[in-house]
């Protein structure tokens, strides 16, 4: 499954030494580099012809869709992924500079991009970013699929990830007068391919498998959505690796349908109810919801696992709350609509009366420094109406930065104590 997770912009081509041949009866066969032959479907033949020259996954899938206009949505991507899985296509990922030194990259905060295998191998990195640009689970305004690309763009304006002789220099925090994240290696492995996907389909399985592998390899994953339903496979993977997981959800909405009978998530899960499945996961111990203030047509369901702090009611007592939380693994999911629309309005379902930037910043820093956080995501950020308006993406990029800085400071303090 892992070799099917790709940078959206990574290049694919037909494996070297492989060539197509027509049999006397006119059917297509492929000669593999080990000398053996396999028969091909018409769709496979078309894909192989298209990838005879290196192309991005996206452009190859589009070309295949033009050749096969009657195909179901997603069929073109599926055949490309199948050929990749069979090692008939191979990836060419432009990675490091020729001397092996990681170059300033196009990833989050300008960190280098990497293929999945490299991000998982050895001691290659600490923090792994990836995008999950999926929005088939929305019920409000569109645009969350543009979140990862927009967030990367904004993050590179605010920060500059630098490695000197392979060691990240970190950043000088000019407000708190200290270095942060020095020595913490970032890599960005790109986006889960979501073009042509079916609702709650293959991208969810890919994200789950990828997340499991990153956590088992000791990486700290940071995911940019996408709509909030993308958090379901991420939290499920985290709870699988670290049972007893507690989830802290910053959100204007509880994102709960029914705790009693949520049914089949493949059919029913949306960004407005994914927490029902999270709450029913036996490996999830508790859920704390902060910032909730939406209006519903009927009362929301109560689950003994869920504690809700409406609006900003928790924030005056945040230090006592954080101090009183039990030890154990935590996952933080940050729906940007928890913030007041004065801070972030670029979201599908904005609701007035949310957290200020400083309230969110302080709460997240306290939580992240004190707790054993095993992963985080930021979801529901949409692209701006006016191109080049980076303010709201900058707010989101800063919050992720401060969360990461606090998480790694907290880890160092606990190791040192």
Rule CB under 5 A: which residues touch Mn ion?
228, 251, 255, 335
Cβ proximity to Mn ion: between 191 and 335 the closer is 335
Distance CA 350, CA 140 (A): 9
Complex with Mn ion: residue 255 or 365, whichever CB lies closer: 255
> What does the alpha-carbon distance between residue 129 and residue 220 come to, in Å, rounded to a whole number?
9
Q: What's the half-sphere exposure (Cβ side, CA atoms, 13 Å) at 273?
A: 18
Q: How far is the CB of 108 from Mn ion (least distance, A)?
A: 21
**Residue environment code for 50-66, b if the CB has 16+ CB neighbours within 10 A, otherwise e:** bbeeebebeebbebbbe
Q: Are 407 and 415 in contact (CB under 8 A)?
A: no
Rounded CA Rg of the chain: 22
Minimum CB–partner distance for residue 269 and Mn ion (Å): 12
- Residue 409: count other Cβ atoms within 10 Å of its Cβ: 16
Question: For tokens 């042509």, what's the residue?
Answer: 196
Measured from the CB of residue 404, what is the shortest distance to Mn ion in angstroms? 21
Report the C-alpha gap between 244 and 216 in whole angstroms. Answer: 16
Phi, psi of 156, deg, nearest 5? -75, -20
How many Å apart are CA 221 and CA 373, to the nearest integer?
Answer: 10
Q: Which residue number, 272 or 393, has a Cβ lying nearer to Mn ion?
A: 272
- The minimum distance between CB 289 and Mn ion, in angstroms, equals 10
CB of 280 to Mn ion, least distance (A): 17
- How many CA atoms does the CB half-sphere of 232 hold within 13 Å? 30
Comparing CB distances to Mn ion, the nearer of 126 and 251 is: 251
Cβ distance to Mn ion smaller for residue 156 or 228: 228
**Peptide linkage before 354 cis (omega within 30 of 0):** no
In the bound complex, what is the minimum distance in angstroms from residue 129's beta carbon to Mn ion? 20
Identify which of residues 255 and 359 has a Cβ nearer to Mn ion in the complex. Answer: 255
Q: Which is nearer to Mn ion, 251 or 383 (CB)?
A: 251
Structure tokens belonging to residue 404: 């990461």
**Residue 251 CB, nearest distance to Mn ion (Å)?**
4
């Amino acid at each position: 499954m892992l070799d099917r997770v790709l940078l959206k912009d990574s290049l694919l081509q037909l494996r070297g030494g492989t060539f197509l041949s027509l049999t006397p009866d006119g059917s297509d066969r492929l000669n593999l580099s080990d000398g053996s032959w396999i028969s091909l479907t018409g769709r496979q033949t078309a894909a192989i012809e298209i990838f005879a020259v290196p192309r991005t996954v996206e452009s190859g899938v589009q070309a295949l869709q033009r050749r096969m206009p009657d195909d179901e949505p997603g069929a073109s991507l599926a055949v490309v992924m199948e050929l990749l899985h069979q090692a008939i296509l191979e990836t060419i990922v432009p990675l490091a500079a020729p001397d092996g030194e990681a170059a300033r990259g196009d990833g989050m905060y300008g960190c280098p991009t990497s293929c999945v295998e490299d991000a998982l191998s050895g001691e290659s990195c600490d923090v792994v970013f990836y995008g999950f640009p999926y929005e088939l689970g929305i019920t409000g305004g569109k645009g969350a699929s543009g979140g990862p690309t927009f967030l990367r763009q904004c993050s590179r304006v605010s920060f500059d990830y630098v490695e000197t002789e392979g060691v990240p220099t970190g950043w000088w925090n000019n407000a708190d007068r200290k270095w942060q994240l020095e020595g913490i290696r970032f890599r960005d492995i790109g986006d889960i391919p979501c073009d042509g996907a079916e609702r709650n389909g293959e991208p969810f399985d890919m994200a789950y498998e990828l997340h499991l592998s990153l956590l088992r390899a000791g990486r700290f994953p940071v995911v940019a959505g996408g709509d909030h339903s993308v958090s379901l496979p991420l939290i499920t993977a985290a709870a699988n690796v670290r049972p007893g997981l507690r989830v802290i959800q910053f959100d204007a909405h509880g994102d709960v349908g029914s705790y009693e009978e949520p049914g089949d998530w493949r059919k029913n899960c949306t960004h407005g109810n994914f927490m029902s499945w999270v709450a029913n996961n036996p490996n999830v111990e508790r859920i704390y919801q902060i910032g909730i203030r939406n209006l519903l047509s009927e009362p929301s369901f109560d689950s003994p696992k869920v504690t809700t702090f409406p609006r900003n009611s928790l924030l005056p007592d945040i230090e006592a709350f954080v101090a009183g939380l039990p030890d154990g693994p935590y996952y933080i999911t940050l729906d940007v609509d928890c913030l007041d629309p004065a801070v972030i309005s670029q979201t599908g379902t904005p609701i007035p009366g949310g957290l200020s930037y400083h309230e969110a910043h302080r709460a997240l820093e306290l939580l992240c420094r004190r707790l054993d956080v095993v992963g985080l995501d930021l979801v529901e950020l949409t692209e701006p109406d006016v191109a080049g308006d980076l303010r709201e993406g900058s707010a989101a990029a800063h919050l992720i930065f401060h969360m990461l800085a606090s998480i790694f400071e907290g880890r160092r303090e606990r190791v040192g104590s």
